[in-house]
Amino acid sequence: MNNKEIVAQAVFEVVKENLSLSEVERLLENPKSVDHGDVAFPAFALAKVFRKAPQQIAAELAEKIDPTAFEKIEVVGPYLNFFMKKEVISSMVLKQIAKEENHFGDSSIGNEGNVTIDMSSPNIAKPISMGHLRSTVIGNSISLILSKIGYQPIKINHLGDWGTQFGKLIVAYKKWGSEEKVKAEPINELLRLYVEFHEKAEEEPELNDEARAWFKRLEENDSEALELWRWFRSESLNEFNKIYGMLEIDFDSYNGEAFYNDKMDEVVTMLEEKHLLQTNEGAEIVDLEKYGLNPALIKKSDGATLYITRDLAAALYRKREYNFVKSLYVVGNEQSGHFKQLKAVLKEMDFDWSDEMIHIPFGLITKDGKKLSTRKGKIVLLEEVLNEAKDSAFAQIQEKNPDLPNKEEVAHQVGVGAVVFHDLKNDRLNNFDFSLEEVVRFEGETGPYVQYTHARAMTILEKSGFSVENETDYALNDADSWEIIKLLQSYPEVVMQAADQYEPSVIAKHSIKLAQAFNKYYAHTKILVDDEQKNARLALVHAVTVILKEDLRLLGVHAPNKM
């Protein structure tokens, strides 16, 4: 049990006629200062029942509560402040982590249920920019967190591989491109052509008509248009997979927009059969006024379908294919209106499983306060950022630890980890301005700081020859180790909170706090002194390595043993 559960049980035993166990637990607070104990119970809630001042109630409760699990119970005004018995709790927590290792905090709450995660989803023929990083790493971390609590994540890369941009690209390629250049540098050359098209279309608007005509040919399965489209898609995927390889992220499906081309008619038919389609100025819509939403535009007046039509087909396909218990969409905050409409249309179609479709929004990465834009060529390439971070890590390793045997591998783990951690330590709804110097900074609250703390702790264990098989008492009672014990003990709750909120930053922040607490402990404590508590101190160091490594793993970041 965690400290709150222990305190709740002790308080409940004396107030069970007035409050339930869960009500007691909800009232408990974490004191702002360690001087006020580990857990506090405010007696205000019992004032009406007992018809006494909260201060008096607190004093009377203190006399009745069983003190076995506590060093002391202190009454401060209306509060009961509980100081846990450090030796008992520390031994219990360290033994449990020694026994369970990286499975500490695991749960079977997901019951092996499938969870589809729509994530990353770059556009074909455009580079993966820093703008794509968020969906990719947030989605990957959520999949790892959900897996830890017993779900089966299914990662879907819903590629942007259809639409009028392919008409534009075909026009640009046929007018100004060359096969040789595209083969040499697929993404850079296709991006150059795409940007050139938009620049020239401002002077020659008739280019847009040509682009629409080519996309129409593509929709009609014209052989030349299809051949170019397949080539652009294949070259792009090869380039994307290089970057996914650097991040060590894989997918269970690359079914993109084009995959649903032959699946939208069924959706339109179902909407017609349920009498949900209305005609408005030649377009076909679903009225969503009762949900407080704008109408969902299903078909334009020229018969063209839209994103929502495709996403309806995708939702139906995923339910049939994977029978998901949850379907997550890790997509930017600006798309929240679209997902509200999507769920509302499915609800109107009597698909109650739409309640389990969850949009997981996130804020923007900006550059100099402005949104990154592929169309205007204002992008920061993710591959370049990862390579620069890796080079920066290598330079620092070369300077500080030139004899490290696997420098290249560690530099990759530290550099890429720095970029991923920098994104995930931010609350996902927050925007942040991109600065390469900030991303690859290794001091402060960063991924490399957490990785270095893990490596330092591993070095201590290596020197000591500590073995977790040694089942002696792991009792500790000093203030610095207690801060670490509380962070270790809270880990199962931290994992559940991150899962419930779909918020990897909860894990990242826990890892920073644990690293800071350990470094403080390391500065104040002679860990390897031969005395009766040496084994307990080493069990603490071991537990820190286990949980820091697991924290980083859940973020998709490595924990090198040496740096």
Closest C-alpha to 314, from 263, 366, 245, 368: 263
Rounded to two decimals, what is the model's pTM? 0.92
The pLDDT value given to residue 439: 75
SS3 content of the chain, % helix, strand, coil (to 5): 60, 10, 30
Provide mean pLDDT across the span 388-415: 94
Q: 140-176 in b/e burial notation, b at 16+ Cβ within 10 A?
A: bbbbbbbbbbebbbbbbbbbbbbbebbbbbbbbbeee
Q: What are phi and psi of 18, to 5 degrees?
A: -115, -30
Residue 70: which H helix or E strand, with range? strand 70-76
What distance in Å separates the CA atoms of residue 249 and residue 421, rounded to the nearest whole number? 14
| End-to-end CA separation in angstroms for the chain | 36
Q: In this structure, how many other beta carbons lie within 10 angstroms of the beta carbon of residue 222?
A: 14
The pLDDT value given to residue 388: 92
Flag whether pLDDT at 203 surpasses 90: yes
SS3 call for 432 = strand
Decide whether 3-84 matches 382-555 in CATH topology.
no
Where do the structural domains in the chain lie, given as residue ranges? 3-84, 163-247, 382-555
Provide mean pLDDT across the span 379-386: 86
- Location of structure tokens 């419930």: 500
Q: 424-452 in b/e burial notation, b at 16+ Cβ within 10 A?
A: bbbbbeeebebeeeebbbbeebbbbbbbb
Residues 33-76 have pLDDT tens digits of 989 999 999 999 899 889 999 999 999 999 999 998 999 999 99
Give the mean pLDDT of the chain: 94
Flag whether pLDDT at 151 surpasses 80: yes
What distance in Å separates the CA atoms of residue 356 and residue 379, rounded to the nearest whole number? 34
Spatial strand order in the sheet of 277-280: 277-280, 283-286, 296-299
CB under 8 Å to 269, separation ≥6 — which residues? none
The pLDDT value given to residue 153: 98
Q: In this structure, are strands 39-42 and 79-84 parallel, antiparallel, or unpaired? A: antiparallel
The pLDDT value given to residue 377: 56
Q: Which parts of 77-220 are beta strand (E)?
A: 79-84, 114-118, 152-156
CB under 8 Å to 520, separation ≥6 — which residues? 480, 483
Residues 278/283/286/292 CA torsion (nearest 10 deg)? -120
Structure tokens at 409: 């591998």
The pLDDT value given to residue 338: 97
382-555, superfamily in CATH? Isoleucyl-tRNA Synthetase; Domain 1 (1.10.730.10)
The pLDDT value given to residue 171: 97
Give, in degrees to the nearest 5, the angle at Cα 505 between 499 and 510. 90
- CA-based Rg of the chain, rounded to a whole angstrom? 28
Q: What are phi and psi of 80, to 5 degrees?
A: -105, 115
Residues 341-370 have pLDDT tens digits of 999 999 999 999 999 999 999 998 887 777
Closest C-alpha to 137, from 149, 120, 153, 121: 120
For helices 130-148 and 223-247, the axis angle rounded to 10 degrees is 60
The pLDDT value given to residue 376: 59
Are 137 and 247 in contact, with CB atoms under 8 Å apart?
yes
Flag whether pLDDT at 196 surpasses 70: yes
What distance in Å separates the CA atoms of residue 61 and residue 11, rounded to the nearest whole number? 8
The CATH number of 3-84, from 3.90.1150.10, 3.30.1360.70, 3.40.50.2300, 1.20.1250.20, is 3.30.1360.70
pLDDT band at 374 (very low <50, low <70, confident <90, very high): low
pLDDT band at 260 (very low <50, low <70, confident <90, very high): very high
What distance in Å separates the CA atoms of residue 460 and residue 518, rounded to the nearest whole number? 12
The pLDDT value given to residue 476: 95
Residues 269-285 have pLDDT tens digits of 999 999 999 999 899 99
Are 547 and 515 in contact, with CB atoms under 8 Å apart?
no
What distance in Å separates the CA atoms of residue 388 and residue 476, rounded to the nearest whole number? 44
What distance in Å separates the CA atoms of residue 327 and residue 319, rounded to the nearest whole number? 9
Residues 65-119 have pLDDT tens digits of 999 899 999 999 999 999 999 999 999 999 999 999 999 999 999 999 999 999 9
Are 127 and 385 in contact, with CB atoms under 8 Å apart?
no
What distance in Å separates the CA atoms of residue 189 and residue 550, rounded to the nearest whole number? 41
